[in-house]
Amino acid sequence: MMELSETETCYLETRRDFAQNALLSWFTAHARRLPWRENRSPYQVWVSEIMLQQTQVEMVQNYFMRFMERFPTPEALAAAPLEAVLKVWEGLGYYSRARALHRAAQKVMEHHQGRLPADPKILRTLPGIGPYTAGAIASLAFNIPVPAVDGNVRRVLARVLALPDPSPELLESIARAWLPELNPGVFNEALMELGALICRPRSPQCSVCPWRELCRAYELGQPEGFPVVKPRKPLPHYDVVAAVTMREDRRILVAQRRPEDMLGGLWEFPGGKRQEGETLETALRRELQEEMGITLEVGAPIEVVRHAYTHFRITLYAYECRLVGGEPQCIECADFKWATLDDLRTLPMAVTDRRIARTVELRLGAQED
């Protein structure tokens, strides 16, 4: 593991006061007004930090306000059905965060009398809380002097010391060296803000950076050269099929994903991946036989949805279908139902299935007209 040299350690010590004062002065003048920064509680800090994982601030703001309105306390969140939590979360993505947040709220109620613990080590025992999130909650909510190194902070610190590929442990030691005992949460938040607004991955705004004179990457004329960005592997692509199977009473078959599966707990139009050599229609008939034990007649295509996840991309083809054999059962799903249009509007779905649901709603509405 890479460690700080004597020279680097001395540099951090001698520039500590300047680093703190410059950053905090900048933050006082330029901090964004965000809903979780107004009259915040430990619970609000916790929810906002979970939502902000791998998600941009602009997208999180409205979700955060809706979530707080629906689940204003850990008690309200813990008592809610998971399906209700997933519905409020719908469209924000990375649904494992919502499931973990829900489980963690139940643990807070069961083991911590409804109060989020302040100790970072105890925080890390809760589902969904890793080293960064524990540090962020402990410092922002409880003013405990612990570092919180997210992707933005990693980039800032790597540039300040011109470190090509610093380890998490090294970055935490750098952050700790400059972390003030007084208001450490404000310092951590300011450092995150600096990375988000000024020390950006591309085209960093060095001319207005409060740490410009501290930054070795700037001095070298290579601010974008640190940390070294590893080339991304091409994302694999999969063709996926989905069945929109309607009965004579206009109810549509939907299935709930198993908790342990990707997008667990969400509802979908059943289907799956096309295997090599299969037509889309053949894949759909096979998937419904394997997943729910039914035989379908595959009709016309009604929607095509393209979507990118973190590690792969899909093209989802939805088809009108008719049940011709068997009764639905949960072989590879958690639950199923014959849903009305009102049901489709209220069930939590991934963005791909929500797109199909809206198309179905429009088509059925046009038929009624």
- Spatial contact of 145 and 184, defined as CB atoms under 8 Å apart: yes
- Spatial contact of 319 and 234, defined as CB atoms under 8 Å apart: no
Listed as own residue / partner, the contacts of 266-269 with beta carbons closer than 8 Å and 24 or more positions apart are 266/86, 266/95, 266/348, 266/349, 266/350, 266/353, 267/339, 267/347, 267/348, 267/349, 267/353, 268/242, 268/349, 268/350, 268/353, 269/242, 269/243, 269/244, 269/318, 269/353, 269/356, 269/357
Q: Is 81 exposed, middle or buried (0-12, 13-18, 19+ CB in 10 A)?
A: exposed
Angle at 312 between CA 156 and CA 165, to 5 degrees: 25
Phi and psi, residue 157, nearest 5°: -70, -35
Which residues does the annotation mark as catalytic?
Answer: 49
Q: How far apart are CA 215 and CA 218, in angstroms?
A: 5
Cα torsion 209, 215, 219, 222 to 10°: value is -80
